[in-house]
Amino acid sequence: MNKVLVVMCVYKNDKLDDFKEALESLYNQTYKKLDIAIQEDGEVLSEVDDYLQKQIDDSKIIYLGKREQNKGFDYSLNELIDMGLKKGYKYFVRMDADDISISNRVEKQIEFLEKNKDIDIVGTYIEEFGDGIEYNKVVKYSLTHNDMFEFFKKRVPIAHVSVIFKDSFFKKAGFYPISGHINNGDTLMWLQGFKNSCKFANLDFVGVKVRVNSGFFSRRTGIDKALSDLKNRLEVIKELDYPIKAYFYALATFTINILPPTPKKLAYKYLR
């Protein structure tokens, strides 16, 4: 058995061409000793399911099956991780079903984790690219644990789609919290990590290309999503004892989150 497991969820909005490109980017990694585990979270497009079944038949995929009802991203990731831990995997690669991993991404991150035994999770920079819209941006993050902790008082210090976890992260911090929040599992996961003495790092290269379409910004718009984000941000500030100015960052982020999609697109491009 390989020691590296990619965990990926597929759901109804994933398109066949995007899914193919995501999987091909994994098949073409310079690091070859990895397995890929996929959970279908509720109904998916029939052509996506057909393609996935062919990949399973070729023994390229560990398939956790298709649940009838969508239970959410965090729930699915927890199932995948729990399965991987029980099978003895040491490293867990996060990957969305519509993003593209750069060919040497896994190799460089695993090499870093092997050399730095104290690190429990490592991410990379990401490049957001427009899919049907005009948009392109490289998003950079702080590199060291202390700088990432300092940055967390403003917003998340690591790109969820770029991370590789060491099994020690889950042993210290547990799984993704299932709290009913809207697509915010990563914020609460990083909170659990910092609270439980997990060591964070980022590498200074673009490891993942993230697909950005019109739905990317509309999914991040609306009062319910903004309030959910704000609630999580206030929890982070309180639990990690950040100074008073962190509340001003939270208010600024809330203001951006309630913007309509077009001005939000500009805020994402120029204020991150």
Q: What pLDDT was estimated at residue 181?
A: 45
For β-strands 121-130 and 4-10, DSSP reports them as unpaired
Question: Which residue type, as a one-letter code, is found at position 224?
Answer: D
* Largest CA-CA distance found in the chain, in angstroms, rounded: 55
pTM: 0.90
For β-strands 100-101 and 164-166, DSSP reports them as unpaired
Q: How far apart are CA 249 and CA 29, in angstroms?
A: 38
Q: What does the H/E/C string look like for the chain?
A: CCCEEEEEEECCCCCHHHHHHHHHHHHCCCCCCEEEEEEEECCCCHHHHHHHHHHHHCCCCEEEEEECCCCCHHHHHHHHHHHHHHHCCCEEEECCCCCEECCCHHHHHHHHHHHCCCCCEEEEEEEEEECCCCCEEEECCCCCHHHHHHHCCCCCCCCHHHCEEEHHHHHHHCCCCCCCCCCCHHHHHHHHHHHCCCCEEEEEEEEEEEEECHHHHHCCCCHHHHHHHHHHHHHHHHHCCCCCHHHHHHHHHHHHHCCCHHHHHHHHHHCC
Q: What pLDDT was estimated at residue 49?
A: 93
Q: Where are the domains of the chain?
A: 4-211
Chain segment 169-219, per-residue pLDDT in tens: 999 999 999 865 445 678 999 999 999 999 999 999 999 999 987 665 555
Architecture of domain 4-211: Alpha-Beta Complex (3.90)
User: Comparing 110-114, 130-134, 218-222, 232-236, which segment has the lowest mean pLDDT?
Assistant: 218-222
Q: Across residues 43-58, what is the average pLDDT?
A: 90
